[in-house]
Amino acid sequence: MSLALVKSLLFWSVVGAIVSNIATVLLSIVRPDLRVWPPPRRGSWQYYYDGIVSLTGLVGVGVLGIVDFDSFLLHHWARFLAGGLLVTSGCFGLWGYLTLGVHASQGLGGDLVTTGAYYYSRNPQYVGAIAAVSGYAVLCNSSLALIAALLVSGWFALVPFAEEPWCREHLGAAYEEYARQVPRFLGPRRPRRPPTAPVARGSTAPASSPDAGAGRLTERAPSPGRRARAADRGSPCCRCCGCGGRRRSGRP
């Protein structure tokens, strides 16, 4: 069997695994009721499927870079600098993996993590993986590895859109606030929302007053002048006018 045939079989096997993974991620985005990623539990067919096709795609990029080494047009020494920087940037993803842990990184759930690499990105593992596989393909100067790396990068870019509805379902308002502050991939953080004090409906007290904070209505007693004008107009009697109810009953 010739080397060209081996490379062709390997390449199409890797591409098939990556495309299958992309298809199931798209299905998970469009039809959450048929979700494949994140898997429902350890030991499910989704769990094994995701593990096999993901590993095939990542390992396949590595093997293609070796068997198809230096087949592309990036022969300049600068490729080692650019590729090395990208591969080194992959440490950001490793930091995220160590912060989140194995269980949650396999899509099996866990508590909301907002520290470490997750302080800067909601998906540091995917950011680091995209940088690492792209840098590796550039270092190897392999056309086949570059194609596979681009497909893997597209897969990693889509996965968060399948995970975020799941996170909102299981983590609730805490995740909503986290997602509002921290970028999906990379970018500046948004400031935290200032706390707002609740104000009771119909209250005229400012939000900072004790009455408004306690949810009580603030009423203003009528002034003596208002009571006198009401009496002069022959308005209906009320207990606040000081007549003791005599005007309503017609007593002097």
* Lowest mean pLDDT across 3-7, 86-90, 142-146, 196-200: 196-200
Report pLDDT for 241. Answer: 53
* 226-237 confidence digits (pLDDT tens): 555 555 555 455
* 161-204 confidence digits (pLDDT tens): 999 999 999 999 999 999 999 999 999 998 877 666 555 555 54
Q: At what angle do helices 143-171 and 124-140 cross, to 10 degrees?
A: 180
Q: What are phi and psi of 208, to 5 degrees?
A: -85, -5
For residue 152, pLDDT beyond 80: yes
Report pLDDT for 32. Answer: 93
Report pLDDT for 212. Answer: 38
* Lowest mean pLDDT across 121-125, 144-148, 211-215: 211-215
pTM (2 decimals)?
A: 0.75
